[in-house]
């Protein structure tokens, strides 16, 4: 057994180094690291807690660390080790300070030289002696919110324009709560009640989703430890994401196009609603098409799903006009609604990314619009909460395409608002942030 395979803090340092230095996705890097270990569940949970805790509080941890580092240039892994240690000292009360220091010093010795060990030891002792700065010393309100909640200022400013100060603070506070573990039931195999019974038999604690009709929330246990994901009775899918297909109000006999389909969660949900109908799933990448086909086979939908490698912006060159009764454009987006589940997204995305994506999103809608038959529907969704990628895209599309009219999104959520589109913010139901709009082709 090597040191890394049994040391949750070292695993956290290694994963964070990959995320910050090589642009790795936190969930994939962490899953891979844990797969290669023989950690007890409690230690795997600690590694997970530390990785997500550091990423969720990155700007705050840097603000705390800054006076002690004083502009010294330090290696990436050393910075991650300091962040990991500082996170434990400030957020994980059950871990004694001496245990945090001892582990940090051991990792510094293992990965660095004697100078590194002395630097880490001295810095952590100084933090314990002097304490960390209070964010109240930051006079500018937006900067203070940015540091306190570790969300870049540009996102805060955009959201303030959309929803005002009070709602922004509520959103920011919700982001660092643990993401819920939710699954969508494949109702062609199991009823919701049957799924609940089977999951409870495996020792999981399960409840119906408040958000989506076909979703369950797992509050205790790990669905990944059951066989049901592999055999297609359930799929991991956030409650908000499950609302998209629910809002399409499928009858079962339609020809449907899922224009941006990978990895295929919504394609499978569409297929679940279909009886004599068929769904065509597009994606630009060959390996993702293979993934969609594998999911269809697993779920028992191979006769209902056709996957084609194609850029959605070239769809009208491939299909005849008015081929589909319903089209879903689950558009490529900044993913800002996923900040709780994928915390590093907030630091990677820039405002210009949203503006660039706005153009891509419009191009896709423009291209597929002619493929919707008259009296058919075009559904647009994103996992972002920024208006520039949501209502501004729809507004611009409708100005150009007068053959479409926006209709109200109807789902299990009985919202008493005047908006035709549906925006779910992360604090509304503690689910992912999402946007859904529906348009009917009237001529």
Residue 194 labelled as part of a binding site: no
Residue 353 labelled as part of a binding site: no
- 280's tokens: 């065509």
Q: Cα separation of 243 and 103, whole Å?
A: 45
Kindly report the CA angle at 320 between 319 and 321, in degrees rounded to 5? 120
- 38's tokens: 């023989």
Residue 427 labelled as part of a binding site: no
Residue 366 labelled as part of a binding site: no
Residue 265 labelled as part of a binding site: yes
Nearest-CA neighbor of 253 among 357, 327, 359, 326?
Answer: 326
Three-state DSSP class for 426? helix
Asked if residue 229 lies in contact with residue 235, where contact means CB atoms within 8 angstroms, the answer is yes
Q: Cα separation of 48 and 14, whole Å?
A: 12
E strand or H helix at 381: strand 372-382
Residue 36's region, left for phi above 0, alpha for psi from -120 to 50, else beta, is: alpha
Nearest-CA neighbor of 321 among 281, 370, 284?
Answer: 370
Residue 343 labelled as part of a binding site: no
Whether 383 is a known active-site residue: answer yes
Output 316-323 pairs: Cβ under 8 A, ≥24 positions apart: 316/367, 316/368, 316/370, 316/371, 319/257, 319/371, 320/371, 321/370, 321/371, 322/370, 322/371, 322/372, 322/373, 322/374, 322/376, 323/255, 323/257, 323/371, 323/373
Q: Cα separation of 39 and 55, whole Å?
A: 22
Residue 272 burial by CB count (10 A; 0-12/13-18/19+): exposed, middle or buried? buried
Residue 73 labelled as part of a binding site: no
What is the secondary structure of 341-354 as a DSSP string? TSTTHHHH--HHHH
Terminus-to-terminus CA distance in the chain, angstroms?
68
Residue 333 labelled as part of a binding site: no
Q: Cα separation of 310 and 289, whole Å?
A: 9
Locate all alpha helices (DSSP H) within 57-204, ordered by sequence: 58-69, 76-91, 97-111, 114-130, 141-149, 153-163, 165-175, 192-201
Residue 330 labelled as part of a binding site: yes
Residue 321 labelled as part of a binding site: no
Helix axes 265-273, 239-246, angle to 10 degrees: 40
Cα-to-chain-centroid distance, residue 286: 23
Q: Which candidate in 299, 329, 383, 439 is catalytic?
A: 383
Residues serving a catalytic function are 383
Q: Which residues are annotated as a binding site for S-adenosyl-L-methionine?
A: 260-266, 283, 311, 330
Q: Which residues are annotated as a binding site?
A: 260-266, 283, 311, 330
């Amino acid at each position: 057994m090597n040191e890394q395979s049994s040391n949750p803090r070292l695993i956290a340092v290694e994963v964070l180094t990959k995320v910050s230095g090589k642009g790795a996705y936190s969930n994939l890097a962490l899953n891979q690291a844990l797969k290669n270990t023989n950690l007890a569940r409690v230690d795997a949970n600690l590694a997970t807690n530390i990785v997500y805790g550091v990423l969720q509080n990155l700007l705050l941890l840097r603000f705390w660390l800054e006076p002690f580092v004083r502009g010294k240039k330090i290696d990436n892994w050393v910075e991650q080790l300091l962040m990991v240690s500082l996170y434990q000292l400030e957020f994980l009360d059950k871990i004694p300070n001496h245990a945090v220091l001892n582990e940090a010093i051991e990792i510094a010795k293992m990965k660095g030289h004697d100078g590194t060990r002395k630097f880490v030891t001295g810095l952590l002792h100084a933090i314990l002696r002097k304490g960390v700065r209070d964010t109240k010393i930051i006079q500018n309100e937006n900067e203070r919110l940015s540091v306190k909640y570790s969300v870049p200022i540009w996102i805060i400013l955009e959201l303030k324009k959309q929803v005002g100060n009070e709602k922004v603070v509520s959103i920011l506070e919700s982001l660092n709560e643990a993401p819920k573990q939710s699954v969508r039931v494949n109702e062609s195999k199991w009823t919701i009640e049957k799924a609940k019974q089977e999951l409870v038999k495996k020792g999981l604690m399960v409840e119906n989703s408040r958000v989506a009709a076909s979703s369950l929330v797992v509050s205790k246990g790990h669905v990944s430890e059951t066989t049901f994901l592999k055999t297609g009775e359930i799929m991991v899918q956030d409650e908000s994401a499950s609302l998209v297909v629910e809002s399409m109000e499928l009858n079962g006999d339609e020809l449907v196009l899922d224009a941006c389909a990978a990895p295929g969660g919504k394609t499978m949900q569409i297929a679940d609603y279909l009886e004599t109908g068929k769904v065509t799933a597009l994606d630009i990448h060959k390996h993702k098409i293979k993934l969609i086909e594998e999911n269809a086979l697993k779920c028992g939908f191979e006769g209902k799903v056709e996957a084609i490698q194609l850029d959605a912006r070239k769809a009208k060159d491939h299909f005849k006009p008015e081929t589909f009764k319903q089209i879903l454009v689950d558009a490529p987006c900044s993913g800002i609604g996923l900040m709780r589940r994928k915390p590093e997204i907030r630091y990677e995305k820039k405002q210009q990314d949203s503006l660039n994506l706005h153009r891509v999103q419009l191009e896709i809608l423009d291209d597929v619009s002619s493929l919707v038959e008259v009296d058919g529907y075009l559904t647009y969704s994103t996992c972002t909460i920024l208006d520039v990628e949501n209502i501004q895209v729809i507004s611009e599309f409708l100005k150009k395409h007068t053959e479409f009219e926006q209709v109200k999104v109807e789902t299990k959520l009985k919202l008493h608002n005047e908006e035709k589109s549906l925006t779910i913010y992360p604090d509304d139901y503690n689910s992912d942030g999402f946007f859904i709009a529906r348009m009917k082709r009237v001529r």
